[in-house]
Every structure is written in structure tokens, then in C-alpha cells.
Homo-oligomer: A and B are copies of this chain.
Amino acid sequence: MEILELIRSRRSVRSYLPKKITQKQIKKILEAARWAPSGLNNQPWRFIVITSEEQKKEIKNFTSDSHIIEEAPCLIVVFLDKKSSYNRTKDLMAIGACIQNMLLEAHSLSLGTCWLGEILNRREEVEKKLGVTEQYEMVAAVALGYPTDEVRESSRLNLEELILKEI
């Protein structure tokens, strides 16, 4: 599939089949994450990979997206490494690029993902539960698994609404 078609056909997946994913799939997705660009190549992203049902149960209580975490066989929690950070604005964009790589690689493997943000409302509690030090700030979590067959529609603003000027 061409990259533009891959980008356009990706959807957030909120319902997953009860089928485990493999370590090999997870490693491919993190390999895509690893090669994102960052300012000064500082690579401020870090990950915790959760596949334990018990651990997912503990985490899901911190978010209204609990059903997604419950169904998805894998949750990749994404952190900003404050020690590697040099500019918060640039580092957050770099992490966004890193997450997009993960979503696209997963989609190309016919896996579904959901980029979870609501969980940040209880960031400190989740960080404590995961036992990370203050060096790491949770900035997102990505649910991962085989999608059920529902394909959802999505929409975007037209290019005319996004381009402020052409000079």
C-alpha cells in the first residue's frame, strides 16, 4: 500500500479481538517509533510495554477509556524523558512523530491502534502505579491489537481551511 493510502485509511480502533499479538509485532512497531526525527536527535521518547492482563486491569481504572485497555492485548505507554529533553515544544512534537510511526507500522501489519489521551488526566497516579521516577512524564498511551471488523468513517477539514496563505 502506498504511504498516502496507509495514512488515509488508518482509523482509531476502539474494539479488539481476543487474540494476542506477538513479541515480533511489538518489536517492529517500536522499531518504527525509534526512527522518528527529533531536534538535535535527542530522542526524548521512552516506553513501557504492558501485555499482562493483571497490569492492564490496574491501569484501566484510571481512565474513561477502560474498555479499550481491557480489550486490547497490548498497551504501550509513552513517556517524555525529561533528562533528554531540551525544548518542551519541540520534544512533544518529536514524540508525536514517534507515535505516528507506531500507528502507521501497526496499520501496515493489519493491527489496530488507539492513541489514548484521556488517561493523562490522572497522569501522576498512573506513573506511580507503573513505578516510574520523576525523570519520566507519561504523555500518551497506545492500545494495540487485532481490530474487530467495524470500519469507522472519519473526516478532516479541507485543505483550503488549513492553508492560511500560499506565497
Q: How many copies does the complex hold?
A: 2
Are B167 and A36 closer than 8 Å at their CB atoms? no
Q: Which residues of B contact A12 (CB under 8 A)?
A: 37
- Looking at the complex, which of A14-22, A143-151, A155-163 is the stretch in contact with chain B? A155-163
Are A47 and B8 closer than 8 Å at their CB atoms? no
List residues of A (28-49) whose CB comes within 8 Å of B's CBs. 28, 30-37, 39, 41, 43, 45-49
Docked CA distance A120–B8 (Å): 30
Taking the closest CB of chain B, its distance from the CB of A60, in whole angstroms, is 14
- Say if the beta carbon of A99 comes within 8 Å of chain B: yes
List residues of A (78-116) whose CB comes within 8 Å of B's CBs. 79, 87, 89-90, 92-101, 103-105, 108, 115
Docked CA distance A43–B158 (Å): 11
Q: Which residues of B contact A52 (CB under 8 A)?
A: 167
Q: With contacts A96-B92, A103-B37 known, is A159 near B32, CB below 8 A? A: no
- Say if the beta carbon of A51 comes within 8 Å of chain B: yes
Taking the closest CB of chain B, its distance from the CB of A44, in whole angstroms, is 10
What 4 A-B pairs come out closest when comparing CB atoms? A96-B96, A93-B96, A97-B100, A92-B92
